[in-house]
Structure 1
Amino acid sequence: MSRIDLLLLLVAIVCALGVVTAQHHARKLTVAIQQEKDRSQQMEVEWGQLRLEHSTWSMPARVENIVVNQLQMQLPNQKQIQYVHVSPALLQEAQP
Structure 2
Amino acid sequence: MFKLNLLLLVVAIVSALSVVTSQHKARRLYAAYEQEEKMRRQYGEDYDKLLLEQSTQGMHSRIEKEAQGALKMNAPTPERTRVVTSGGDAVLVIPPKEE
Q: What range is the shorter-chain TM-score in? A: 0.7 to 0.9
Amino acid at match of 1:7: L
Q: Which residue of structure 2 lines up, in the alignment, with residue 77 of structure 1? A: 77
Q: Which residue of structure 2 lines up, in the alignment, with residue 19 of structure 1? A: 19
Shift of 1:23: 0.5
Higher RCO, 1 vs 2 (CA within 8 Å, ≥6 residues apart): 2
Higher percent of residues as strand: 2
Shift of 1:75: 1.6
**2:65 paired with 1:39:** no
Give the alignment's Cα RMSD to 1 decimal: 1.5
Higher percent of residues as helix: 1
Residue 85 of structure 2 aligns to a residue in which SS? coil
Q: Which residue of structure 2 lines up, in the alignment, with residue 90 of structure 1? A: none
Distance 1:4 1:83 in 2: 98
Shift of 1:83: 2.2
Compute the TM-score of the two structures, normalised by the length of structure 2. 0.79
Distance 1:30 1:71 in 2: 54
Q: Which residue of structure 2 lines up, in the alignment, with residue 63 of structure 1? A: 63
The runs of 5 or more residues in structure 2 that have no matched partner are 88-99
Give the percent of matched residue pairs that are identical in Structure 1 and Structure 2.
40
The runs of 5 or more residues in structure 1 that have no matched partner are 88-96
